[in-house]
Amino acid sequence: MKAVTIAALAALAAASPAAPDSQQVALAQLHAADARLAAVHFRLVTANADLCRTLMPVTGARFNTLAQYAPVVRAAARARYGFAAPQAVQLVVPASPAEGQLQSGDAVRAINGVAEPAAMPAADAPASNAARDALRGRIAVLPPATPIAFAITRAGTPMTVSLTPRPGCRAEIEVTFDQDSYSLEDGTLAISADVLRRFDENGVAVVIAHELAHVILRTQARLDAAGVKTGMFVGELGRNARLRKQGELEADRLAVALLYNAGYPPGLAAEFFAGPGKAIDYGLLRDRGTPSRSERVAATRAEAALITPGTPRPYLPAMLAARDQKME
């Protein structure tokens, strides 16, 4: 998996080791960004479990590891999250199964009786997401609706808490400092920090829903099967550009249903692309494999029109069948 948070953590490393206050400010900003994403992500992946073929248990807790922080930042990370063990709870989404059971700073010792790693990273070990990703992976393969027992240490006191997760689409989420948001075939949703800076919850929800739609629709796998090339210049020509644009519009259309299932208005995506979403439209400079803003507005408006008042949730749109269709 691409280490999509390393860019953000590198920014923390730029702060002087002699300036712990600045590191704590940076950590607080990163924590706030993760909390915003986590809340919308929880809402979308749990509300759309019926549309996803691969599920995971969604607890509403996000975990971090000491190893994912650069050496010069680890003292600040310990001050914020404790790290009595190499892995700890970063945050808990309100009204999620983890609320009232886990807390930020809880050190995770074992999950369902299986011990978690106890060895701390070497003092000079470079930042790595590997341990954090492995922890998430161990949780992701557990039964999606079966209680999970966490053996933790809280303020020096060992205890075990149990919570029953909600089934959700297997798709983790991260903040990336890349210019654009994107999704990976393993289900990772990488949301640009610019999205969080520019948009409110509704705008963030549209962007996350679009990337989640790519995962559900298997866009990249279908493009690969069609032999589509995505490199500079060649990806913007002829069939390559046409099929890439098709994949983007499919994701826009499915996002309408994903948002509706999560309780957002069906017209939200169209309103976003017609209004604040213009901030991420490159106009004449856009990649030819990317739809124009007018195309996105038209596609999402048409999809929203299919959701009549009172349509039951979860709504499974007919276009969901595209995930099993060849792109040609």
Confidence category of residue 7, pLDDT binned at 50, 70, 90: very low
Within the chain, all domains assigned CATH 2.30.42.10 are found at 6-168
In the chain, where do the E strands start and end?
55-58, 61-65, 87-92, 107-111, 114-115, 148-154, 157-163, 166-169, 173-176, 182-183, 189-192
DSSP structural state of residue 159: E
Would the pLDDT of 10 be above 50?
Answer: no
Q: Which fold has domain 6-168?
A: Pdz3 Domain (2.30.42)
CA angle 32, 36, 41 (to 5 degrees): 140
Give every CB contact of residue 13 below 8 A, 6+ residues apart in sequence: 70, 71, 72, 73, 127
Q: Which residue has the tokens 């297997």?
A: 170
The pLDDT > 70 percentage for the chain reads 90
Tens of pLDDT, residues 26-74: 999 999 999 999 999 999 999 999 999 999 999 999 999 999 999 999 9
Q: Give the residue with greater pLDDT, 229 vs 189.
A: 189
Cα gap 229→231, rounded to integer Å: 6
DSSP structural state of residue 170: S
Confidence category of residue 281, pLDDT binned at 50, 70, 90: confident
Structure tokens at 255: 């996002």
Query: Average model confidence (pLDDT) for the chain?
Result: 91
Structure tokens at 265: 């208005």
Confidence category of residue 4, pLDDT binned at 50, 70, 90: very low
Would the pLDDT of 13 be above 50?
Answer: no
Cα gap 187→245, rounded to integer Å: 20
Confidence category of residue 15, pLDDT binned at 50, 70, 90: very low
Distances (CA, A) of 110 to 12, 170, 201: 29, 22, 34
Structure tokens at 176: 């990336």
Cα gap 212→250, rounded to integer Å: 12
Instruction: For the chain, count helices (H), then strands (E).
Output: 10, 11
